[in-house]
Chain A
């Protein structure tokens, strides 16, 4: 199991998992461990010759056994595809998988947070190019979620309202909107920390994936696909990004939250990346080179 070390200066856990140093690193496409196993070839992580969507325990987990879980979600058997290239129906299926994992992992006794995410692109540090995401079931609430939950609770105490609902109310003018329908919105938040950061959120208060009804899921799939297609058109390349789903911690008595998905693409232009450096890493203070209103207009026009 990993060793959890407490960082007394930052009030947060650091997870030490030395075996991850040996994880699979940029294998050739014909040795991809996330592809289905082809007859006559070496067995991959998925022994069958085809699949729709597959989930398995990470071979190099950060959390395992009583600590939590780390899962890999293979979106499609097609090695050269991407999440944004899937049909709306397929993404709806994927949403059902995410819901199922949220419910099942949230039931594990020591799990305090179920975090669904995707790292895409070598610029992000991805070591397997096959379209896939990951799920971490943590034995603690991670720091970013802690910050959000505290801000939400503080706002609720002082105003009686959800802080994210108020953020969304501020977006009704449309200046920072990228995509929208009657259920969901994709927008560049005024406080974006990355030039082309985007949030996707339900307009009605939903605490997490388990709160979504059929209409919510369908709309979520459409907006998610539309947003990812815009991202790939932005610089005419498969845009690297981190996709991070923020939902409430498991448990009926857990704190309230407003479900949303955050995207952090590192590109500030086609061939220039934003790096986290002195101010961001050393001081935790993000400096952004672009205005949210301008980058939203760029994305909206695609």
Chain B
């Protein structure tokens, strides 16, 4: 087995993961990043802990990255 090829996720050489011990449950996301997976999410807790102390303002930077200001209301 050529590990140099087998161990990479180079898009031009799609890896053929055959290692028995590899956690396949994790590998899908690492090797096929565009695949969308629907997961059941925890609903946010609506207890006293959810009381918001801050307001949130999201802006987009000129290079496309986001910046979030957390501010006192």
Contacts and interface: CB of A to CB of B under 8 A. Distances in A.
Interface string B45-73: 10111011110100001010111111110
B29 A112 contact: yes
Interface stretch (A3-11, A180-188, A262-270): A3-11
A13 B3 CA distance: 14
Interface size band for A: 35 or more
Contacts, number: 131
B52 A96 contact: yes
A252 B23 CA distance: 21
Contacts of B56: 100
A302 to B, nearest CB: 30
Contacts of B70: 52-55, 93, 96-97, 100
Nearest to B17: A6
A107 interface: yes
Contact of A139 (B29, B40, B68): B29
A252 B43 CA distance: 8
A214 interface: yes
Interface string A199-242: 00000000000111110110000000000000000000000000
Contacts of B67: 45-47, 54-57
Interface stretch (A23-31, A59-67, A124-132, A189-197): A59-67
A113 B35 CA distance: 17
B68 A55 contact: yes
Interface string A48-82: 10011111110100000111000000000000000
A293 interface: no
Interface string B20-37: 011100110111011111
A51 B40 CA distance: 35
Interface residues of B, number: 48
Given A5-B9, A250-B42, A252-B42, A140 B53 contact: no
B44 A109 contact: no
Contacts of A217: 49
Interface string A102-142: 01001101101000000000000000000000000001110
A86 interface: no
Main secondary structure of the interface of B (DSSP, over half): loop
B9 A109 contact: no
A52 B29 contact: no
A250 B41 contact: yes
Contact of A251 (B26, B31, B41, B72): B41
Contact of A1 (B33, B38, B66, B71): B33
A138 to B, nearest CB: 9
Contacts of B15: 6
B48 A109 contact: no
Given A3-B8, A8-B3, A93-B70, A141 B26 contact: yes
A253 interface: yes
26 contacts: A3-B9, A4-B31, A8-B6, A8-B19, A8-B22, A46-B67, A52-B54, A52-B72, A54-B69, A55-B70, A56-B65, A56-B68, A66-B33, A67-B29, A96-B52, A96-B53, A100-B70, A112-B26, A112-B29, A139-B26, A139-B30, A140-B29, A213-B47, A213-B49, A251-B40, A252-B40
Given A54-B70, A139-B33, 13 more contacts: A4-B9, A6-B9, A8-B7, A8-B22, A13-B26, A46-B67, A51-B71, A55-B70, A59-B63, A106-B42, A109-B37, A140-B23, A252-B41
